[in-house]
Chains A and B, each alone.
Chain A
Amino acid sequence: MPELTPDVERELAALDDALAGRRVAADLTELGELALALRDERPEPSPEFGKALDAKVARGFGEPGPRRRALTWRSWRPWLLPTLGATATFMLVAVIALSARDDELQTLSGGGAAVEESSDAGGGRASARQESGASPAAEDDAATFAEPLPSTSVPPAPGGGAPGSDGRTRRSVERSASLTLAARPRDIDTVSAQIQDVTRQQRGFILASTVNSSSNGGGGTFELRIPTRNLDAAMAALSRLGKVRERAQRSQDITAETVAARNRLKDARTERKSLLRQLGDAVTLTETQSIRARLRIVSLEIERARADVRRVNNRAAFSTVSVTLVADSSAAAPGDDDNWTPGDAANDALRVLEVIAGVALIALAIVLPIALLAAPGWLAARWSRRRRREQALDAV
């Protein structure tokens, strides 16, 4: 808007002078009189209206006052600090919980120690290390859940085609693992006992163990048989008992061996049934003796086949875990491998800041587009309302 011209400014000043009771230039006397006449035309409210409005104001308009109004800066400022504190606490708890979960996952996956996993396909290359004698009861129990494949993922058989390429949809997998744990020399006995506890808790048993403990060092080795379905849980629990130095897992497909053993048993049983029928039909003594001799042989074959089936089932149902316990004076106490140091505190603080920054970034990513979309709408609505009001002056 251009600046006011001197004449306009002079006339406006004359209006103000007239209203203020000051002298007005002679050539603007008429304008000054008009200003005073306009002021005299000012409508005055009736005394009744004035009294009624005074009473309304005194009552606060009979409605909840401004103290109960919508949130404004002044009204929610007292709550700001507690709210921020509660939010920060909540975020801290969430971060710690997430960190603990991450640590657990890390432990399950090896906790930074060397992790090796290999898989062999083809039952013909079976490992011979599982021929050791497990307890008979456990071996019999194993047969009951050896049939279904472990739910854990088995890597594709290298060179053997797809898992179903041999016509088998349910596969038997033998799994084994090894773990090297470090513990303080004075904790060797404690950790050894805890290894046994973990084995029991996971419904496994100790095949062999050797423990040496002394004030300067010591160690031990444990050969554990753990139900394959509990292998992951057992490895996680064992990993928490000390500092994991090394960890390895191995899985091997023994489906072919399992099928072969079952087929042998089935064939032998079929032959025995046939021989029993032949025995019933035999007429001569020679025939009878010959069939009986053959039956004895077949019965032995059935027994051997049964043993083979139990053995392969047991290999799939139980996993061998080799635990090596070594002494290390720098290792943490069992179950206390998280000594909170200033370095840890700094790391945690950094992690908290990272999470806060992440949350803020996500919130910004959500809020910003919404705000960008809403702002023009809000401005348009405001402009439209203002315009409609202004149009009311034109419509009178």
Chain B
Amino acid sequence: MTSTLTAEIPSRTSSPALDFEALYRAARDDVYAYVATLLRDRSAAEDVTAAAFERAYRKQRTYKASRGSERAWLFGIARNAALDELRRRKRAAALAAEPADVDATPPDDAAEAALRRAAVRAALARIEPRERELIALKFHAGLDNAELAAVLGVSVSNAGTQLHRAMTKLREAVEHA
């Protein structure tokens, strides 16, 4: 016996508008992860993430599929919100970065793995914000290189080069950690 599962596929022509709900569900944690890594402040990351989604909600009609994917568009908004937050911090005499959340490491992890994680975390804190942003977009937000390029406003090859450079710096930082 065979059964067929059918689902209604929305027509692109009849409903070209962005499905904000779906985008939100798919990207909420990714946006938060990116912003938190960039800002290194969980409380500020929550505020910025909420602000980014609110901006995206209000600007959803301006989304054009021809300019890139929905995720790239959303992360562009989140990036602007995060950079605005960084500028505000600069004006407010640079808040001290939140200390690394050491307690987040599960106590039953193997010691070697724990050490490795601590080294990665320390290296992440040490590298330049631009490089940390690239790593956050790639490994925490889960963007592919094309989306990464769209968010940064550069070519795909340029994004790849920048990512490779950031990884090289990170590897060096891990070795020295």
State which of B130, B139, B145 has its C-beta within 8 Å of the C-beta of A12: B145
The interface residues of chain B lying within 8 Å CB-to-CB of A53 are 28, 49-50, 53
In angstroms, how far is the closest chain A Cβ from the Cβ of B147? 13
Nearest-Cβ distance from residue B5 to partner chain A, whole angstroms:
26
Among B54, B116, B133, B171, the residue within 8 A (CB) of A393 is B133
Cβ contacts A246-280/B at 8 Å (1 or 0 each) = 00000000000000000000000000000000000
Asked whether any CB of chain A lies closer than 8 Å to the CB of B46, the reply is: yes
Query: Is residue A293 contacting chain B, with contact meaning CB distance below 8 A?
Result: no
A396 touches B171 (CB 8 A): no
Contact with A along B118-161 (1 / 0, CB 8 A): 00110010001110010100111010110000000011011011
Given known A31-B167, A49-B46, contact A41–B120 (CB-CB < 8 A): yes
Partner-contacting stretch, out of A204-212, A225-233, A384-392: A384-392
| Structural contact, A1 and B161, CB atoms closer than 8 A | yes
Residues on A facing B (Cβ under 8 Å): 1-4, 8-9, 11-12, 15-16, 19, 30-31, 34-35, 37-46, 49-50, 52-53, 56-57, 60-61, 63, 65-66, 69, 72, 74-75, 388-396
Give the residues from 74 to 117 in chain B that come closer than 8 angstroms, CB to CB, to chain A: 80, 83-84, 86-87, 89-90, 94, 116-117
Query: B129 touching A19 by the CB < 8 A rule?
Result: no
Minimum CB–CB distance for B98 against chain A, Å: 11
User: Given A11-B167, A19-B139, A34-B174, do A66 and B61 touch, yes or no (CB 8 Å)?
Assistant: yes
Q: Which residues of A contact B142 (CB under 8 A)?
A: 19
B: interface residue count bin = 35 or more
Q: Does any Cβ of A come within 8 Å of B32's Cβ?
A: yes
B36 at the interface (CB under 8 A from A): yes
Q: How far is the CA of A267 from the CA of B123 in the complex (A)?
A: 123
Which of the residues B117, B135, B157 comes within 8 Å of A3, measured between beta carbons? B157
- Nearest residue (CB) in A for B158 is A1
Query: Does more than half of chain A's interface fall in helix, strand or loop, or is it mixed?
Result: helix
By CB atoms of chain B within 10 A, which of A44, A52, A393 has the most?
Answer: A393
Return chain A residues, CB-CB under 8 Å to B72: none
B167 and A34 form a contact (CB under 8 A)? yes
Docked-complex contact A41 and B157, CB < 8 angstroms: no
A12, A42, A61, A65 interface centre (most CB from chain B within 10 Å): A42
Nearest opposing residue in chain B for A40, CB measure: B117
Write out the residue numbers on chain A whose beta carbons fall within 8 Å of the beta carbon of B161.
Answer: 1, 4, 8
Q: Is B12 an interface residue (CB 8 A)?
A: no
With the chains together, A390 CA to B152 CA distance in Å?
Answer: 10
Q: Is the CB of B120 within 8 A of A389?
A: no
Cβ distance B56 to chain A, nearest Cβ, rounded Å: 10
Question: Which of B58, B80, B155 contacts A66 (CB under 8 A)?
Answer: B58
Q: Which residue of B lies closest to A11 (CB)?
A: B164
Q: Which chain A residues lie closer than 8 Å to B21 at the CB level?
A: 57
Please name all residues of chain A whose beta carbon is closer than 8 Å to the beta carbon of B61 when the two chains form the complex.
66, 69, 72, 74-75
Q: Specify which chain A residues have a CB less than 8 angstroms from the CB of B50 in the assembled complex.
A: 52-53, 56
Q: Are B57 and A37 in contact (CB under 8 A)?
A: no
Residues of B within 8 A of A393 (CB): 83, 86, 128-130, 133
Q: Is there contact, CB below 8 Å, between A389 and B124?
A: no
Q: CA A1 – CA B36 in complex, angstroms? A: 30
Contacts of B164 in A (CB 8 A): 4, 8, 11-12
CA A42 – CA B37 in complex, angstroms? 8
B84 near A389 with CB under 8 A, answer yes
Contact B83 A41 (CB under 8 A): no
Contact of A69 among B54, B58, B144, B170 (CB under 8 A): B58
Taking the closest CB of chain B, its distance from the CB of A10, in whole angstroms, is 10
